[in-house]
Structure 1
Amino acid sequence: MQAKTLLESFRYPRKGPGMMWEAARDHVVAGGNQILMGHSLHRLSENRVTGRWTVETRQPNGKGASLSAAHVISSAPMRELAGRLHPVPQTAGRALDLKYRDFLTVAIMVKSKDLFPDNWIYIHDPRVQVGRIQNFRSWSPELIPHDDMACVGLEYFCFEGDGLWASDDADLVDLAKRELEQLGLCDPGDITGGVVVRQEKAYPVYDEHYAANVEALRAELSEAHPTLHLVGRNGMHKYNNQDHAMMTAMLTVENIKAGRIIHDVWRVNEDAEYHEAGVEGDAGRTDADPALASERLVPRRRAA
């Protein structure tokens, strides 16, 4: 029986998704704009007379910046955004009930050929804690340029502050080594090192109250602050894939440029399906390429 797959082909940056963010940064800066790195959102407030926003940021050293904007696009977790808006939304209490699943990856270098040919494999063995393992070379050969080395990422689903999240990096690397051996994937003696990467709020939790809580905050913000736009997985508390999360931002920019809502970004990937025709969030567009039906649907540049 052939294993099922969501798609037969995909596009992936040669040296990983970071190349996209670097290219976006360079494009923004080349246009005479500014990107503030290492800043976190401190407070967001709208002047109801002028309609302009004041965005205040903070850096770890206590310094920060104050920006003025006509529109704000937020990909911050809805729970965090509600607590930083001034005045605080009436539905902020419901936003505080939104929950997230956190995530960490232990990347392990192994003196070996690739341990398996797949991009990633899901683990269902109750003896181990790892939930998924990815093979970085299968995403792009340029990620692992040495033919005699392999690099796999053991992915652990956890909650910030729990035993896994709070473990020392060295202990997590040791755990990953033991579990690779338990799964029969490699000899621990071939492992040359490892590194841990933690990602907070990687997955919005869909509990029995999340939909009503999201809708309550969304309705209040759209009514009170129509120039505040929510995008992305955490910004919408919506478990979209990366490409669909990016699509919500791209379509939001088109809405701002048009001066009206021409795309309902909340419909992007609404049914969590991969469609072979049409464009999610814009049912009237008919420029999908049938030849790309096996690829995940993403925004494409319109023909001139």
Structure 2
Amino acid sequence: MVEGAGKRAVILGAGVAGLATALRLAEGGGWRPRLLEREDRPGGLARSLHFRGVSTDLGPHRIHTEIPEVQALIESVAARSLVRLRRSSHIFLRKKWLTYPPRPLELLGALGPIRMARFGTGFALEKLRPRPAQETYESLMRAAFGGPLWEFLLRPYSAKTWKIDPGELHADTARVRVSAGSLGKLVAGLLRREQQGAETALREFRYVKGGAETLVRHLWAAAHAAGAELELNTAVQELELDERGRVRAALALRRPAHGTAEGADQRFEGELFVSTVPLPILLGRLLPQRAELMAAREAAARLEYLDMAFVCLIVRRKVITGDNWLYFPEPHLIFNRGYEAKSFDPAMAPEDKSVICLEITMRRGDALARESDALILQTATEHIVSTGLFRKEEIEEGLVYRIPYAYPLYKLDYDVQLGKVLAGLRGLGNLVTLGRQGLFNHNNMDHSIWMGLQAADKLNSYETAEAVAAWYDRADDFKRMRIVD
């Protein structure tokens, strides 16, 4: 860093993006990073849940990356904890369990030759249609899979997952997230293997024994050894702006420690601020309100995130399915996807039990989001039992865990609104926002780590204002990262 050693960097959020940023800043020697985390442990979205002697990730955080820098970091901090697994996944469709991604011959047996012929004809006809002037998620998916398959399977699954009419989703949703690639690729998969680096779904992946929090512990240990500090149970209430419009301090409330009656107000001053919190929250914390941030604040309010509820069930079986991922596209089932923790690491549950976690997306304020945990648990239990995976009497216990702002919702105008937000934040001169929530970016865990490393490299190499400007100049690059399911 050019400006002199030991400057203070305040990082909001100790998820993998924040931890990677802190580690690289501390290694550079010019910054003294301090992480502020509202929870009682680091990890953010990459956390594990423990109850009644079992453990499960909140979202199955497999280790797979096409970014050499991230691969090298993970190897350096967690090599002894990594295991290699062969992927096993199924999809529940029309009361049948099919391999996922679907195999055409398997689909043929499940759906019949007439329906499959319609899928093929529809795919061919779609190739003859002129492309619309403005692509949407729906238009790209139709082009990739054909109208009949889109209407039969992909439209209802998309509406169920994103809780919005698929015609109102931006095309970027399809560009980064299509697991099967296209109907053509699906068929080609019968004839040849996908080339490395062009996979549309993983065949093998690595996992950190003990769950995502093991990697988080390794990242934090490395960051701490390099000189970073961590404040837990510390919720930022305000980012105080000075007379020039730069961030001067983070004002936080430290949650009461066990056995104490009150929390304590804290003030953390710094020359640099890095945020990984959701953009509407970030813009609301920048005070006093300034006219030049008004457009950014209004745009942030138009950005919408999906909340998620995780229904975790302990089942009295050694193994439920052995699958890593289970997919539930049909609308009558409340959950979109499930996973069995022991299929990633057998030590996640006792030998005679297993735990399955079911993901439910919801839009803030909708009827589902307002339902009680008890009703969501009851409904999810009835629905998963109806699939035949196990009997209700085999369930020992269940719970519901909710995560707000879990995933950005790419509505048609999201890129316009996001551009206004980032333009406003750029003008502050000493604040960088990154990560899935902080950059409103569909990504995997390795992408968030890479964002932290890239931001820190710039901040270690240039004057702060120059580095911040360079960061926002390349924000669009992260929209091109490809998600491999």
TM range (shorter): 0.7 to 0.9
C-alpha distance in 1 between matches for 2:246 and 2:382: 57
Matched, 1:182 2:386: yes
Which residue of the partner structure matches residue 277 of structure 1? Answer: none
1:101–1:158 Cα contact (<8 Å) kept? yes
Which residue of the partner structure matches residue 133 of structure 1? Answer: 338
Matched, 1:44 2:245: no
Which residue of the partner structure matches residue 14 of structure 2? Answer: none
C-alpha distance in 2 between matches for 1:130 and 1:3: 17
Distance change in 2, residues 1:51/1:159 (3 Å)? closer
CA-CA distance at 1:150 after TM superposition: 1.6
| Deviations 1:92-137 (CA, angstroms, capped at 9, x unpaired) | 1111111111001011011113222321111023322111111111
Moved more, 60-69 or 161-170: 161-170
C-alpha distance in 2 between matches for 1:16 and 1:117: 16
Matched, 1:149 2:344: no
CA-CA distance at 1:210 after TM superposition: 1.4
Matches within 5 A, 1:56-95: 56-60=251-255, 61=262, 63-88=264-289, 89-91=293-295, 92-95=297-300
Matched, 1:266 2:470: no
2:239–2:247 Cα contact (<8 Å) kept? no
| Deviations 1:24-77 (CA, angstroms, capped at 9, x unpaired) | 333344445431111222111343569662111124545221111111110111
C-alpha distance in 2 between matches for 1:101 and 1:50: 31
C-alpha distance in 2 between matches for 1:141 and 1:207: 39
Unpaired segments ≥5 residues, structure 1: 275-295, 297-304
2:274–2:432 Cα contact (<8 Å) kept? yes
CA-CA distance at 1:269 after TM superposition: 4.4
Structure 2 SS opposite 1:208: coil
Moved more, 53-62 or 251-260: 53-62
2:251–2:267 Cα contact (<8 Å) kept? yes
The structure with more radius of gyration: 2
Residues paired across the two proteins, number: 273
Distance change in 2, residues 1:271/1:50 (3 Å)? closer
Identity percentage of aligned residues: 23
Moved more, 197-206 or 19-28: 19-28
| Deviations 1:212-258 (CA, angstroms, capped at 9, x unpaired) | 11101111221x22321110011011111222122111211111111
Distance change in 2, residues 1:126/1:50 (3 Å)? closer
C-alpha distance in 2 between matches for 1:32 and 1:203: 31
More helix by share: 2
Structure 1 SS opposite 2:415: helix
1:95–1:214 Cα contact (<8 Å) kept? yes
Distance change in 2, residues 1:213/1:11 (3 Å)? same
Question: With CA pairs under 8 Å and 6+ residues apart, which has the higher RCO, 1 or 2?
Answer: 2
Which residue of the partner structure matches residue 79 of structure 2? Answer: none
| Residue identity matched to 1:242 | M
Matched, 1:234 2:234: no
| Deviations 1:147-194 (CA, angstroms, capped at 9, x unpaired) | 321210011111234443333333333222211111111101111001
| Residue identity matched to 1:230 | T
Matched, 1:53 2:248: yes
**CA RMSD after TM alignment:** 2.5
Matches within 5 A, 1:160-239: 160-222=364-426, 224-239=427-442
Matches within 5 A, 1:242-253: 242-253=445-456
TM-score, normalised relative to structure 1: 0.81
